Amino acid sequence: MAKQKKHLLEFEVEADYDVVGICSHHNDYRLAWSINATLGFHLEQSSDPFFITHTKKGVTTHQSHSMFEYYEDENRVTYFLIKNKENGKFLIPERPTIDFFLFVYKNNSIDLDLLSDKLRNVNSILAVFQLDIESLPSTENIIF
């Protein structure tokens, strides 16, 4: 009998969002309010939290994180403000010191450097970091 060849199909899912990490000492609703007041956004709490499912060694865990969202018509971009740590679980465990992540979904026109500078002017924000999605393995679980 001839030896069978095995072919492994691998594909990479390209993320269609950019991520800005935010450190803040305020709660999510207070931070959203401050961002709205300073940047003119309209972040509103989502009716559903952001859910992630992890499967590791046959064990599946579910976690939910507080989420605010805002769709900007002019640039056709959706912003998601998601809390990193909820009930002791991290959305992106590689960055445990970051309190919130601002995802800019389907970004084709927003300058992240300019957005980061504007976020630094928000009173509720202590620090802002632009993150490279490809360097964070756990971002493959984040799907909008």
Amino acid at 102: L
Bridge-based pairing of strands 50-56 and 59-65 is antiparallel
pLDDT in tens, 126-135: 999 999 888 8
pTM reported for the whole predicted model: 0.84
pLDDT of 19 above 70: yes
| H/E stretch holding 91 | none
Q: How many residues does the chain have?
A: 144
For the chain, the structural domain boundaries read 31-45+65-73+107-135
Percent over 90 (pLDDT), the chain: 52
Q: Mean pLDDT, the chain, as a whole number?
A: 87
| Mean pLDDT computed over 38-60 | 84
Let me know: does 18 contact 133? Beta carbons within 8 Å.
yes
107-123 pLDDT, tens digit per residue, is 888 899 999 999 999 99
Are 103 and 120 contacting, i.e. CB atoms less than 8 angstroms apart?
no
The reported pLDDT for the residue numbered 43 is: 95
